[in-house]
């Protein structure tokens, strides 16, 4: 389904190339996440064993990326998971329910994710402006949401060019951080794994699960190109390639950056720092260079917010276009042809959330809320699709099927079950409310 035909006035343009799609994935995956998360992951695993959480996160990204790639190559349309759940479970009860629940969750978790990026930006800005009080932090985070929506309010060709520039800055910054630490790298310190602080295996498993939940937040975004499936050139090949290229680049950069930190700073210093990269650069160079590095990190955080907002804005659009959501969300800008109503609504919600919440709680809520319907739902649907329709055309078929899908499901379940009980209850509660709303929509409206 290459679909390079001339689009009508209410159709998206297939203008994003493989490098541009990969760049969008990369800047979405990085953002402020890894620069804040590294300290939390080290604290959770009590030292260099935190590498386990980064490796497990990468393994999940690869295995789950195969699920996204197979589905994205088969149905390269705007909306990603909304489209997949509709196709995999059909237009009967289960298909309508699953797709409705996903859109319902998206209206909550997409603005939460956007808010987490803007909140992280304002918190990291505190390194440059130490006396930035809470009111000004909230003002900064909300203003960033507004700025990103303004930048995205243009055609997809321009967005692709912007993404390439931001992607190069992101990769270049992390490479600089890594190479800066090589002359002073202490291998014995970086690879000293010690589990003595965990009195039982159960506590160790809980720590690994907690740490992996954090690293997964930093890997999320490998599927952004799939959500933009209706705007990717030659999607049957470019979507899988973009997914795996971006995961490989980011996994290598994350692992090397974490090792660079561990080899140059005591792990307790890392675990206790709110601005660990800035602290690291200041130790190697000086305070002025650390301020410059902090500025680059803030630019990367803005880039991530740019990319994830771009991808999420296509979900309500796809649902509305298919008749499963409010029709106004299916409107496309008459000149630049992008879903401007969907973009503006998500921007408004993210603006409000950025004023209401703190980042620590938001990250855990984002991950746990998405696991059951989106990630496990997609993998389950994929397995059922293979069983029911084994002869269906599949432009990309995951190697070693069905093991990557099963592996991703097991890791997602591990992360979900080792999450704090309050957030597990929150995730189930959101689904319960969504089911009620679905029946109200189907039978009363």
In a domain, 9, yes or no: no
In a domain, 8, yes or no: no
What would the two tokens of residue 132 be? 């930035």
**Please, is 154 exposed, middle or buried when counting C-beta atoms within 10 Å of its C-beta (0-12, 13-18, 19+)?**
middle
- pTM score: 0.84
In a domain, 4, yes or no: no
At 155 the pLDDT is 67
Which positions ≥6 away from 118 have C-beta within 8 Å?
A: 140, 141, 142, 144, 145, 305, 350, 354
Query: CA 359 from chain center: how many Å?
Result: 15
- 363 closest CA partner among 43, 42, 48, 114: 114
The CA distance from 366 to 362, in Å, is: 6
Q: Domain range holding 88?
A: 18-391+398-443
At 228 the pLDDT is 84
What is the total residue count of the chain? Answer: 445
The CA distance from 144 to 137, in Å, is: 11
Which positions ≥6 away from 394 have C-beta within 8 Å?
A: 70, 73, 74
At 6 the pLDDT is 43
Q: Return the H-helix or E-strand segment holding 422.
A: helix 421-443
How does DSSP classify residue 297? Answer: H
What pairs with residue 78 in β-bridges? 228
In a domain, 314, yes or no: yes
Query: For the chain, what is the total number of helices (H) and then of strands (E)?
Result: 20, 0
At 316 the pLDDT is 84
- The span from the first CA to the last CA of the chain, in angstroms, equals 35
At 3 the pLDDT is 42
At 10 the pLDDT is 57
In a domain, 357, yes or no: yes
The CA distance from 370 to 377, in Å, is: 10
Q: What is the pLDDT along the chain (445 residues), one digit of tens a residue?
A: 444 444 455 567 788 899 998 988 988 888 787 888 899 999 999 999 999 999 999 999 999 999 999 999 999 988 888 889 999 998 888 988 998 899 888 888 889 888 888 888 888 888 898 887 888 888 999 999 999 888 888 766 777 778 888 889 989 999 999 999 999 999 999 999 988 888 899 899 999 998 998 899 889 889 888 988 888 999 999 999 999 999 999 999 999 999 999 999 999 999 988 889 999 999 999 999 999 999 999 988 888 888 788 878 888 888 888 777 778 888 887 777 778 888 899 999 999 988 887 766 777 888 898 999 999 999 999 999 999 999 999 999 999 999 999 999 999 999 899 888 999 999 999 999 999 988 887 776 5
Listing DSSP states for 170-234 in one string gives HHHHHHHHHHHTGGG--HHHHT----TT-SSHHHHHHHHHHHHHHHHHHHTTTTHHHHBGGGBSS
CA dihedral 30, 33, 35, 41 (to 10 degrees): -120
Distances (CA, A) of 37 to 57, 70, 286, 401, 410: 13, 30, 23, 32, 23
In a domain, 284, yes or no: yes
Buried b (16+ CB within 10 A) or exposed e, 322-359: bebbeeebbebeeeebbbbbbbebbbebbbebbeebeb
The CA distance from 27 to 148, in Å, is: 14
In a domain, 383, yes or no: yes
In a domain, 1, yes or no: no
What would the two tokens of residue 291 be? 């301020």
Alpha helices in 125-133 (DSSP H): none
Q: Domain containing 74 — which CATH number?
A: 1.20.1740.10
Q: What is the largest CA-CA distance in the chain?
A: 68
Structural domains counted in the chain: 1
């Amino acid at each position: 389904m290459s679909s390079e035909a001339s689009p009508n006035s209410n159709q998206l343009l297939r203008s994003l190339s493989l490098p541009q799609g990969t760049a969008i994935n990369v800047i979405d995956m990085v953002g402020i996440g890894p620069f804040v998360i590294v300290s939390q992951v080290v604290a959770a695993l009590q030292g260099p064993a935190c590498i386990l959480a980064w490796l497990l996160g990468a393994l999940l990204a690869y295995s789950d990326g195969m699920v996204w790639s197979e589905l994205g190559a088969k149905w390269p349309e705007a909306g990603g998971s909304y489209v997949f759940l509709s196709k995999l479970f059909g237009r009967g009860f289960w298909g309508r329910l699953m797709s409705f629940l996903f859109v319902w969750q998206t209206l909550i978790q997409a603005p939460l994710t956007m808010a987490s990026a803007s909140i992280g930006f304002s918190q990291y800005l505190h390194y440059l402006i130490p006396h930035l009080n809470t009111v000004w932090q909230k003002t900064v985070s909300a203003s960033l949401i507004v700025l990103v929506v303004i930048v995205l309010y243009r055609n997809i060709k321009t967005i692709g060019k912007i993404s390439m520039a931001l992607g190069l800055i992101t990769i270049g910054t992390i490479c600089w951080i890594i190479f800066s630490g090589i002359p002073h790298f202490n291998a014995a310190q970086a690879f000293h794994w010690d589990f003595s602080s965990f009195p039982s295996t159960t506590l160790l498993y809980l720590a690994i699960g907690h740490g992996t939940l954090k690293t997964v937040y930093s890997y999320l975004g490998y599927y952004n190109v799939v959500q933009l499936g209706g705007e990717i050139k030659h999607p049957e090949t470019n979507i899988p390639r973009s997914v795996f290229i971006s995961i490989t680049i980011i996994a290598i950069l994350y692992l090397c950056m974490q090792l660079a930190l561990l080899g140059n700073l005591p792990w307790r210093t890392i675990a206790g720092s709110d601005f660990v990269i800035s602290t690291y650069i200041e130790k190697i160079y000086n305070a002025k260079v650390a301020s410059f590095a902090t500025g680059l990190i803030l630019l990367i955080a803005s880039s991530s917010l740019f990319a994830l907002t771009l991808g999420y804005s296509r979900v309500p659009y796809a649902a509305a276009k298919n008749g499963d959501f409010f029709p106004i969300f299916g409107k496309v800008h008459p000149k630049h042809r992008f879903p401007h109503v969907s973009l503006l609504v998500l921007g408004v919600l993210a603006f409000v959330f950025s004023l209401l919440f703190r980042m620590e709680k938001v990250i855990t809520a984002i991950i746990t809320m998405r696991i059951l319907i989106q990630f496990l739902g997609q993998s389950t649907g994929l397995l059922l699709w293979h069983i029911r329709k084994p002869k269906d055309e599949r432009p990309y078929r995951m190697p070693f099927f069905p093991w990557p899908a099963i592996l991703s499901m097991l890791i997602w379940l591990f992360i979900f079950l080792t999450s704090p009980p309050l957030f597990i209850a929150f995730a189930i509660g959101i689904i319960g409310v969504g089911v009620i709303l679905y029946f109200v929509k189907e039978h009363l409206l």
